[in-house]
Amino acid sequence: MLKAIIFDFDGTIIDTETAWYLAFRDSYQTYGVDLSVELYSGCIGTSLHTFNPYEYLNTHHNLGVDSEELRRTVRARHAELMKKEKIRPGVCEYLEQAKEAGLKVGLASSSDREWVERHLRQLGIFEYFDCIRTANDVEKVKPDPSLYRKALEGLGATAEEAVAVEDSPNGMRAAAAAGIACVVTPNRITSLLEFEESQWRVENLGQLAFADVVKAMAKPLAEPVPGEESVR
């Protein structure tokens, strides 16, 4: 029985990820370097340990770029691009229906708490969340399952009683490692990446009725749900 739903933030609730990629790509082009989605994906949904886009031009191309200036340029471009972004389709409806159904609502993000909470308040949805766990709460972020385990603990739910909503392969791996069923909703950038098999994959939550998720979670996960297919 479903008792909790846990959202990722960046790229899932609002598409910050595409704006970050475009901001870095544009800045890299001024130095004559092409930034592929595959390379950039190393930092999507996780920390900058695998791929640090602020340092890459120096560590791999020896360009002598002023990292702080690059940071300012990229953040300014990101802020400009984000003016066009809104909460992704279906997210508000899921939040409202989860509350109406008496479910606990959590958030598990590899970003830091200040970033997440500031944006949730700006979007007017902060009060929906019963538990927020961020990079500040764990030693390892996604794809490590610690964030999801911390969220489950805070929500008072087991993995079998929860469903996660993710946009990236790293996020989906974290949910899977924690034993949580996952709704995958890739954004414009993460839709270009390869995902492992998931319980559901849709372009956005508006394409998957919340009631269908609740119904499916009432069944053993190993049991096929009529009319639904697992999608890679």
Q: What is the per-residue pLDDT for 184?
A: 97
Count of domains forming the chain: 2
Could you list the pLDDT tens digit for every one of the 232 residues in the chain?
A: 999 999 999 999 999 999 999 999 999 999 999 999 999 999 998 888 889 999 999 999 999 999 999 999 999 999 999 999 999 999 999 999 999 999 999 999 999 999 999 999 999 999 999 999 999 999 999 999 999 999 999 999 999 999 999 999 999 999 999 999 999 999 999 999 999 888 899 999 999 999 999 999 987 654 444 333 322 2
Q: What is the per-residue pLDDT for 28?
A: 97
Q: What is the per-residue pLDDT for 197?
A: 81
Q: How many residues are listed for the chain in this entry?
A: 232
- Looking at the fold, whether 23 and 74 belong to one and the same domain comes out as yes
Catalytically annotated residues: 8, 10
Say how many C-beta atoms besides its own lie within 10 A of residue 64's C-beta. 7
Nearest to 78 by CA among 133, 15, 32: 15
Q: Is 68 a member of any domain? A: yes
Q: What is the per-residue pLDDT for 205?
A: 97
| Residue with tokens 């159904």, as numbered in its chain | 101
Both structure tokens of 189: 């950038």
Q: What is the per-residue pLDDT for 220?
A: 61
Q: Is 223 a member of any domain? A: no
Q: Is 232 a member of any domain? A: no
Residue 49 belongs to what domain range?
Answer: 16-82
- Looking at the fold, whether 45 and 116 belong to one and the same domain comes out as no
- For 135-144, letters b (16+ CB in 10 Å) and e give bebbeebbbb
pTM, two decimal places: 0.88
- Specify the CATH number for the domain of residue 149: 3.40.50.1000
Beta carbons within 8 Å of 189's beta carbon, 6+ residues apart: 11, 17, 18, 21, 37, 40, 44
